[in-house]
Every structure is written in structure tokens, then in C-alpha cells.
């Protein structure tokens, strides 16, 4: 099982990873929000993370997680 705490969760409008400890976006200050600051990819002028979609890894993780929990398997 992959350690999901080590991957960025989402993709920004600019197409780079954000929202997580290993994102391409800086962390904001003074309110600590990992990966919500400006984009650190060279040549990208994105100044703040704007949520676009989950990363493929994260959507896979949610998909697997929800099928395992089986909340509509039994009534």
C-alpha cells in the first residue's frame, strides 16, 4: 500500500501538483497549508494553488478505498 501522505493530492489550474507535502506549490504562511502557495515550477507564473482535479494517484486511492469500504454492499 502506497503511503498517501507522501504524494500531492491535487492538480492546480496551472497543471502542476498542489495540495500536499510534495506538491509543486509552496506552502502558505502564516496559515500553514501545504502546497497552496505559489507554483515553484520554473516558467510558471501561477501565484496560488487553484484546485482543478485530484491526481491520478489520489483518484485511484479514493476509488480503491470506497470499493473496499463496501458501504452500498449491504443494506
Which residues in the 15-74 window bind Zn ion by CB under 5 A? 16, 39, 41, 44, 46
Q: Which three cell numbers stand for residue 34?
A: 501545504
Which residue lies nearer to Zn ion by CB, 7 or 41?
Answer: 41
Does residue 7 bind Zn ion (CB under 5 A)? no
Residue of 8, 11, 12, 58 interacting with Zn ion (CB under 5 A): 12
Q: Which residues of 17-54 are buried (b: 16+ CB within 10 A; e: fewer)?
A: bbbbeebbbbeeeeeeebbbbbbeeeeeebeebeeeeb
Q: Which residues bind Zn ion (CB under 5 A)?
A: 12, 14, 16, 39, 41, 44, 46
Amino acid at each position: 500500500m502506497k503511503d498517501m501522505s507522501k504524494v500531492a493530492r491535487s492538480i492546480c489550474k496551472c497543471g502542476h501538483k498542489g495540495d500536499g507535502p510534495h506538491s509543486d506549490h509552496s506552502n502558505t504562511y502564516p496559515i500553514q497549508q501545504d502546497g497552496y502557495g505559489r507554483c515553484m515550477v520554473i516558467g510558471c507564473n501561477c501565484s496560488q494553488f487553484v484546485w482543478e482535479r485530484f491526481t491520478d494517484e489520489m483518484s485511484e486511492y479514493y476509488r480503491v478505498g470506497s470499493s473496499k469500504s463496501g458501504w452500498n454492499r449491504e443494506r
